[in-house]
Structure 1
Amino acid sequence: MARPTTKIELIETAAAKFDKLWEIIDAIPQEIMEVPFDFSNDPKKKEAHWTRDKNLRDVLVHLFEWHELLLNWINSNTEGEEMPFLPHPYNWKTYGELNQEFWCRHQETKLESAKEMLKLSHNAVMELIEEFTDKQLFTKKYFDWTGTTTLGSYCVSATSSHYDWAIKKLRAHKKNVMIEMHA
């Protein structure tokens, strides 16, 4: 599916990917979900998130926290309070450390709470997107606080692109566990 370039595409793609994520979550048997994530045998999975996230909760709270970043950033800036997307002291070179902070923050969060938090934050993001026009979402430099990127691009990254990331991770986990069960 092509990256959204209109408000309608953004909303439809985000909703479809979110629904797909829940279909996958609901289809993975409990005994597979209870096995900790382990991608250490796959040399292609080198990025930090492959070792950081140990279970479904970790994936869901990661998505939730990126929704919160988006919501706080948009709300602050539209209310006249200048704020960068990533909180101080993080930047695009160190956002992996921010992701690790999110992971640490939620080690006591229960899976059911993570599910509810993500559903609520997704709905809040979708409602906020509705408030903007195509022009506001997809015109470069429409808002000075988006820099050279469109607001829509940030929204895509925090929704459908991130949901794709989660879907791939959950599918990879299921495949790993299935292989181990049949070995």
Structure 2
Amino acid sequence: MGRPTTKTDLLDVATANWDKMNSIISSMTEKELSTPLDFSSDIKKKEAHWNRDKNLRDILIHLYEWHQLLINWINSNKAGENKPFLPEPYNWKTYGDMNVEFWKQHQNTSLEEAKKMLTKSYEKVMCLAEEFSDEELFSKDVYKWVGGSTLGSYFVSSTASHYDWAIKKLKAHIKKCKG
């Protein structure tokens, strides 16, 4: 399926990728769970996240924090507080630094706690998506605070696309563990 353009498609692809990601996580062996993520020998994996995340918890926390960005942004703006998606002082050129801050903040969060936090935030995001119509999600200029994009594109990025990112990363780690 291409990028969702309806609420039904958004919910379907987010759910499918969420389920696929969780299926991969539950099938991980103790060795795969305990082996640190290390992609330093793969020259194709240049993006900062390949170096940043060291374990499953780090990946789950990243997803959780992006859920929080979406939830807080929508709720604040719906309440009349004009708030950008990315918190100050970050912007789309510096959001990598924000991701590192998220990583740092959660180094004492357990894997079990990260799983619970992420599941709860996933449920909140999906309920939030349900509140909007197709037009509200996928038509431009419905909400001034969304800018030139659509609200749905933020949902897709924070859910389905991010889960796909996690799936690729986990598969690469599992493959590396199997050697």
By the TM > 0.5 criterion, same fold?
yes
TM-score (ref. length: structure 1): 0.97
Letter aligned with residue 109 of structure 2: T
Structure 1 alignment gaps of length 5 or more:
none
Alignment of 1:112-127 (within 5 A): 112-127=112-127
After TM superposition, give the deviation of residue 168 of structure 1 in Å. Answer: 0.3
Letter aligned with residue 160 of structure 1: A
After TM superposition, the runs of 4+ consecutive aligned structure 1 residues lying more than 4 A away are: none
After TM superposition, give the deviation of residue 31 of structure 1 in Å. Answer: 1.4
Structure 2 alignment gaps of length 5 or more:
none
TM-score (ref. length: structure 2): 0.99
After TM superposition, give the deviation of residue 28 of structure 1 in Å. Answer: 1.2
For the residue of structure 2 that corresponds to 1:87, the secondary structure is: coil
What is the root-mean-square deviation in Å for CA atoms of aligned residues? 0.5
Q: Report the counterpart of residue 43 of structure 2 in structure 1.
A: 43
- Taking the aligned partners of 1:138 and 1:32, their CA distance within structure 2 comes to 39
Letter aligned with residue 5 of structure 2: T
Identity %: 60
- Tell whether 2:75 aligns with 1:75: yes
- Taking the aligned partners of 2:149 and 2:125, their CA distance within structure 1 comes to 18
Q: Deviations over 1:78-107 (max 9, x none)?
A: 110110000000000000000000000000
- Tell whether 2:41 aligns with 1:7: no
Letter aligned with residue 22 of structure 1: N
- Taking the aligned partners of 2:40 and 2:74, their CA distance within structure 1 comes to 37
Q: Report the counterpart of residue 103 of structure 2 in structure 1.
A: 103
Letter aligned with residue 9 of structure 2: E
Q: Report the counterpart of residue 31 of structure 2 in structure 1.
A: 31
Letter aligned with residue 20 of structure 1: K
